[in-house]
């Protein structure tokens, strides 16, 4: 337990009401979407950058680990207080500070929920494209820290492509700014990009300067059912080869369709063995033509049915199907290992075949869905941990999946990050030299290893 | 021990939570409080910790578990359909058993269990109303003149009626041959505070020629007791209602209160087969009216010259049962109504029964969002299908300084019927 004088000091720094060592609060901040649990020693809800700086300085002086936390929706355990210490929650930092319509930039605090920000900018005709499936509840701070991606990445890129600058509290408690509200800027190292995807290990993000786009005039969402996964995968390649980049190209395999069917009552014919959700956006007349062209290109590839949304509500309903996937998988088996490998787009069918072979070899269900448009496949290994031997089998299968992705020139995480879930597999992807290069940065910036220790890299 | 499920029996449901956090987007309490302890995921985690003996009935646990409206919004959106409101209610029963009911919970359940006491209180309330309440010129509701225990003086309350609804009407109203017979479960809100809603309901049923029984010895549905964790009181009230509602054979039991609908139709289901049979007959009044030809009859009425713009608020206990279309259908079919949707029609008004007594500040914050949405819709009236919601909506509107009036759809229907 932390000594009582530290708790007292924390209370003077951020206010007694914002510091808690109550069991109930420790439990409530002990988990994230990995379903793993580690109890912190204290939960702190700071209200400003200065308070965060003061907390970090104290932690650095006393060598107490600090775990930044947004909504706790991470899939790799980034926000878990694996070594006790302080959970530093951004829930109170939830203000949109500025939407600059003239320069198409916005400044926000890290605790703003992604969808609320999107709605705010869309009200004034602007557009923030990154849209993780967790957008209704995950925070922008968490999105930057994980460099979250989403269905629209195919056309628009990921979170880091929209971050112009940051205010951060360094691991030693200093407050610095990286980048700024200009579209260009090359003074010094690009620390903004370094922070994107740093998983809360190199600094606490306290402000985010975001680039915005004009809101596309219209969009068209189509749900296409295929009779085989190959058809769907070939459709992805065919569309891109046809020089159309849709906003999104999401796919689900047969097992995923079954889960969603059970969870949402989705009406889908049995013949459908794979689904693509395709969305195009832009000028109203252009998207109609694009949609028609897409339908023509994919028709020979085993299309069972095409549903095209005609209203915003219908489009939202199609997306709701996709968003409900992740959590509905529990119907297959109670425990889920959600990996998010990424391979070059054209290698998606090959990768799916590899995964299917691995599932067969280990005789465990593996459910695949994801962002086919950018080769990002969510490989869900479904097991029941209570059954002896299952966990070991799952771990072996996952390692083979990673190796398979790397063989195809891919990566073992397209968007969820490493956290604790993939730390052990880092040597598969990074050379010892590359790992060391990264660790040197961490050591230099965080000499006492207080900021989110034990994440990304296994501690020696 | 009661027949209602114990917390232990919810282990599987608690384990169903994958901790995804999706409920953060849908829990009205979390929207106002921004703390993990207040959201479904946190409450489910605490309930799980209680089960595993990892935490005791500490004050903070009691506080977090008290911070739930039992609205079911989380469950409706949860990818795994974790029944948080049931889990929280079971946890509250355990708390009440081990720690005793709160003084308010005790007072309330005593009153609700004794029909005569309730009638007496209502009558005194009615005759003292002028003394207790001050009239506000801009609003339909009334505000307390003197502080009452547990109630914020700033709160708008409807006037208690001097003569409860069930004492005003005969127990049996014969309809036309060939039409169904229904029992009307009035609930406390209509009986003691909004008798006009009950009268409007009877008119609508008469218009269709339906025979109605209004059992005199029916009581409170028991939902406030569910919220307080008073398991035994829930069972007593359920038994009383079962007896009252089965005394005469009926085809349907209609309610015009979302909470009563949930109480009779859902909560009682755990109590046994006879209760499930009772529940199977329960129908929301608008579902009943829609299925029995009212929209067609309304369509035949002459159009009104002047229309009033009305929006609709979905009571949680209907919305989470999937009843959203029928009330709108009837409302929109009224000749004098121009129906407009508001944003967030399906979010909780913030009442949550006893919740708003314990957490009036948070309840007001939740209600404030609603008041803004009502104002933005441009409607003059907000109609709904639950007396509790009417009370809270009017209170929220008054706090926001709005001029809109909260009404039951039945009151509007009453105006439209020839
Ligand atoms: C149903 C579901 C669907 C999902 N879909 C997607 C998806 O499509 N794409 C995707 O990329 N991810 C997805 N995720 C994963 C997750 O939502 C994202 O990683 C998200 O960005 C995490 O945000 P959060 O606010 O929950 O952060 P948390 O989980 O609280 O934290 C994540 C990491 O960020 C760090 N962090 C948080 N705030 C700060 C800060 N202010 N400063 C520094 N570090 C900070 C934490 O320490 C941790 O390492 C999904 C998750 C769920 C449950
Ligand atoms: S209650 Fe449902 S929505 Fe909330 S965290 Fe659990 S599984 Fe997710
Ligand atoms: S029932 Fe309502 S208040 Fe309670 S946790 Fe669920 S959404 Fe929140």
Nearest to B250 by CA among B273, B221, B280: B280
ipTM: 0.91
Among the residue ranges A168-182, B92-106, B192-206, the one predicted with the least confidence is B92-106
Please give the distance, rounded to the nearest whole angstrom, from the Cα atom of residue A326 to the centre of ligand 1: 14
**Model confidence pLDDT, tens digit, residues A236-258:** 889 988 999 999 999 898 888 88
Which residue of A30, A40, A69, A260 sits with most ligand 1 atoms within 8 Å of its CB, as the best mutation to test the pocket?
A69
Cα torsion B121, B126, B131, B132 to 10°: value is: 60
Alpha helices, DSSP H, located in A81-161: 114-123, 140-146, 153-156
Give nearest CA residue, ligand 1 atom 21.
A143
Looking from the CA of residue B26, the nearest atom of ligand 2 is: 3
Nearest to A144 by CA among A103, A122, A102, A111: A111
Can you give the pLDDT at residue B150?
56
DSSP bridge partners of A43: A20, A87
CB contact under 8 A, A71 and B16: no
Beta strand spans in A372-434 (E): 376-383
pLDDT at position B337 over 60: yes
Please report the residues numbered 66 through 125 in chain A whose beta carbons come closer than 8 angstroms to any beta carbon of chain B: 71-73, 89, 91-92, 94, 113, 115
Please give the distance, rounded to the nearest whole angstrom, from the Cα atom of residue A142 to the centre of ligand 1: 4
Can you give the pLDDT at residue A257?
87
Question: Within an 8 Å CB–CB cutoff, is residue B33 touching chain A?
Answer: no
Task: Read off φ and ψ for residue A177, nearest 5 degrees.
Answer: -115, 140
Can you give the pLDDT at residue A311?
87
Among the residue ranges A154-168, B56-70, B118-132, B371-385, the one predicted with the least confidence is B118-132
pLDDT at position B170 over 80: yes
The CA distance from A27 to B52, in Å, is 13
Q: Of A32, A90, A137, A386, which to mutate for an interface test with B (greatest number of B Cβ within 10 Å)?
A: A137
Can you give the pLDDT at residue A20?
98
Can you give the pLDDT at residue B41?
98
pTM of the complete model: 0.91
Cβ contacts of B207 within 8 Å, gap of 6 or more? B294, B297, B417
DSSP A290-303: HHHHHHHHHGGGTE
Question: Within an 8 Å CB–CB cutoff, is residue A28 touching chain B?
Answer: yes
**Model confidence pLDDT, tens digit, residues A173-214:** 999 999 999 999 999 999 999 999 999 999 999 999 999 999
Average pLDDT over chain B, rounded to an integer: 89
Q: Are strands A42-44 and A86-89 parallel, antiparallel or unpaired?
A: parallel
The CA distance from A363 to A393, in Å, is 9
Assess contact for B74 and B20: CB atoms under 8 A.
no
DSSP classification of residue B385: S
What number is the average pLDDT over the span B231-237?
91
Residues of B in contact with A24 (CB under 8 A): 37, 46, 55, 58, 60-61, 63-64
Task: Read off φ and ψ for residue A342, nearest 5 degrees.
Answer: -135, 130
Question: Within an 8 Å CB–CB cutoff, is residue B378 touching chain A?
Answer: no
Q: Are strands A213-214 and B337-340 parallel, antiparallel or unpaired?
A: unpaired
Assess contact for A254 and A304: CB atoms under 8 A.
no
pLDDT at position B241 over 80: yes
Percentage of chain A lying above the pLDDT 70 cut: 100
Nearest to A159 by CA among A204, A121, A208: A208
CB contact under 8 A, A31 and B45: yes
Can you give the pLDDT at residue B137?
46
**Ligand 2 lined by B25 (C-beta under 6 Å):** no
Assess contact for B348 and B258: CB atoms under 8 A.
no
DSSP B349-374: -S-TTTHHHH-HHHHHHHHHHHHHHH
Please report the residues numbered 36 through 95 in chain B whose beta carbons come closer than 8 angstroms to any beta carbon of chain A: 36-37, 42, 45-46, 49, 54-55, 58, 60-61, 63-64, 78-81
* Token pair belonging to B53: 């003996």
Question: Which residues of chain A are under the pLDDT cut of 50?
Answer: none
Nearest to B21 by CA among A270, A139, A104: A139
Cβ contacts of A435 within 8 Å, gap of 6 or more? A426, A427, A457
DSSP bridge partners of A277: A223, A250
Residue B135 binned pLDDT confidence (cut-offs 50, 70, 90): low
When computed from its CA atoms, the radius of gyration of chain A, rounded to whole angstroms, is 22
Task: Read off φ and ψ for residue B68, nearest 5 degrees.
Answer: -145, 130
Can you give the pLDDT at residue A258?
83
**Model confidence pLDDT, tens digit, residues B361-404:** 999 999 999 999 999 999 999 999 999 999 999 999 999 999 99
* Token pair belonging to A19: 């510091």
CB contact under 8 A, B80 and A327: yes
The CA distance from A403 to A379, in Å, is 13
Give nearest CA residue, ligand 3 atom 6.
B74
Give nearest CA residue, ligand 1 atom 19.
A74
Assess contact for B60 and B37: CB atoms under 8 A.
yes
Assess contact for B374 and B348: CB atoms under 8 A.
no
The CA distance from A392 to A160, in Å, is 35
Which residue of A46, A134, A201, A207 sits with most ligand 1 atoms within 8 Å of its CB, as the best mutation to test the pocket?
A134
Residues of A in contact with B23 (CB under 8 A): 137
Can you give the pLDDT at residue B369?
95
Can you give the pLDDT at residue B115?
66
């Amino acid at each position: 337990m932390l000594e009582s004088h530290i708790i007292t000091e924390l209370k003077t720094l951020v206010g007694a009401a914002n510091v808690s060592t109550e069991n109930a609060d420790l439990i409530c901040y002990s988990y994230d979407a990995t379903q793993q649990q580690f109890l912190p020693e204290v939960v702190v809800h700071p209200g400003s950058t200065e308070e965060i700086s003061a907390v970090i300085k104290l932690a650095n002086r006393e060598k107490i680990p600090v775990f930044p936390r947004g909504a706790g929706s991470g899939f790799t355990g980034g926000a878990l207080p694996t070594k006790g210490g302080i959970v530093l929650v951004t829930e109170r930092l939830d203000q949109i500070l500025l939407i600059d319509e003239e320069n198409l930039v916005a400044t926000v605090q890290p605790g703003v929920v992604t969808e609320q920000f999107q709605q705010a900018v869309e009200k004034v005709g602007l557009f923030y494209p990154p849209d993780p499936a967790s957008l209704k509840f995950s925070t922008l701070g968490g999105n930057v820290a994980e460099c979250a991606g989403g269905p629209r990445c195919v056309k628009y890129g990921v979170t880091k492509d929209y971050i112009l600058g940051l205010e951060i509290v360094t691991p030693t408690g200093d407050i610095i700014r990286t980048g700024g509200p200009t579209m260009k800027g090359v003074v010094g190292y690009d620390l903004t990009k370094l922070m994107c995807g740093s998983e809360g290990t190199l600094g606490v993000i306290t402000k985010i300067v975001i680039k915005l786009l004009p809101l596309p005039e219209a969009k068209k969402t189509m749900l296409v059912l295929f009779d085989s996964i190959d058809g769907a995968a070939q459709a992805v390649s065919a569309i891109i080869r046809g020089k159309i980049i849709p906003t999104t190209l999401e796919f689900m395999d047969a097992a995923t369709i079954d889960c969603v069917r059970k969870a949402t009552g989705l009406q889908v014919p049995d013949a459908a063995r794979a689904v693509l959700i395709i969305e195009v956006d832009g000028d109203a007349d252009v998207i109609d033509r694009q949609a028609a062209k897409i339908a023509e290109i994919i028709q020979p590839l085993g299309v069972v049915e095409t549903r095209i949304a005609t209203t915003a509500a219908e489009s939202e309903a199609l997306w709701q199907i996709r968003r409900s996937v992740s959590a509905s998988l529990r119907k297959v088996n109670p425990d889920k290992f959600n990996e998010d490998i990424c391979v070059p787009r054209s290698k998606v069918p090959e990768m799916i075949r590899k995964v299917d072979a691995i599932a067969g070899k280990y005789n465990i269900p593996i459910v695949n869905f994801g962002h086919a448009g950018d080769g990002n496949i969510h490989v869900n290994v479904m097991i029941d941990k209570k059954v002896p031997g299952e966990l070991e089998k799952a771990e072996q299968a996952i390692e083979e999946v990673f190796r398979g992705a790397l063989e195809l020139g891919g990566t073992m995480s397209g968007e969820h990050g490493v956290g604790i879930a993939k730390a052990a597999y880092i040597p598969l992807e990074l050379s010892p030299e590359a790992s060391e290069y990264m660790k040197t940065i961490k050591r230099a910036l965080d000499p006492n290893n207080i900021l989110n220790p034990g994440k990304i890299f296994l501690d020696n | 021990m009661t027949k209602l499920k114990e917390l232990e029996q919810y282990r599987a449901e608690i384990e169903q939570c994958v901790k995804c956090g999706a409920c953060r987007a849908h829990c009205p309490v979390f929207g106002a409080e921004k703390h993990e302890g207040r959201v479904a995921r946190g409450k489910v985690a605490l309930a799980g910790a209680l089960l595993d003996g990892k935490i005791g009935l500490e004050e903070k646990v009691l506080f977090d578990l008290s911070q739930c409206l039992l609205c079911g919004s989380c469950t409706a959106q949860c990818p795994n359909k974790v029944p948080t409101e049931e889990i929280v209610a079971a946890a509250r029963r355990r708390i009440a058993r081990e720690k005793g009911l709160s003084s308010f919970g005790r007072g309330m359940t005593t009153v609700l269990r004794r029909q005569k006491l309730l009638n007496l209180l209502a009558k005194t309330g009615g005759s003292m109303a002028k003394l207790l309440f001050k009239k506000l010129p801009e609003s339909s509701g009334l505000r307390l003149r003197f502080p009452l225990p547990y109630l914020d003086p700033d709160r708008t309350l409807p006037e208690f009626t001097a003569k409860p609804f069930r004492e005003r009407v005969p127990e049996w109203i014969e309809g036309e041959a060939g039409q169904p017979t229904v029992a009307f479960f009035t609930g406390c809100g209509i009986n003691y505070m909004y008798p006009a809603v009950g009268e409007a309901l009877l008119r609508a049923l008469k218009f269709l020629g339906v025979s109605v029984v209004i059992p005199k010895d029916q009581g409170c549905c028991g939902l406030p007791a569910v919220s307080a964790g008073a398991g035994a009181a829930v069972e007593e009230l359920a038994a009383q209602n079962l007896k009252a509602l089965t005394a005469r054979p009926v085809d349907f039991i209609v309610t015009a209160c979302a909470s009563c609908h949930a109480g009779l139709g859902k909560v009682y289901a755990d109590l046994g087969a006879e209760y499930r049979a009772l529940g199977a007959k329960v129908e929301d009044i608008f579902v009943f009216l829609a299925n029995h030809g009212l929209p067609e009859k309304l369509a035949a009425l002459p159009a009104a010259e002047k229309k009033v713009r009305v929006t609709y608020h979905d009571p949680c206990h209907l919305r989470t049962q999937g009843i959203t279309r029928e009330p709108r259908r009837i409302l929109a079919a009224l000749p004098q109504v121009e129906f407009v949707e508001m944003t967030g029609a399906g979010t909780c008004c913030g009442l949550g029964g006893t919740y708003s007594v314990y957490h009036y500040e948070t309840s007001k914050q939740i209600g404030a969002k609603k008041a803004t949405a009502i104002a933005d819709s441009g409607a003059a009236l907000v109609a709904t299908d639950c007396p509790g919601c009417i009370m809270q909506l009017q209170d929220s509107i008054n706090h926001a300084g709005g001029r809109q009036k909260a009404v039951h759809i039945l009151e509007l229907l009453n105006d439209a019927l020839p």
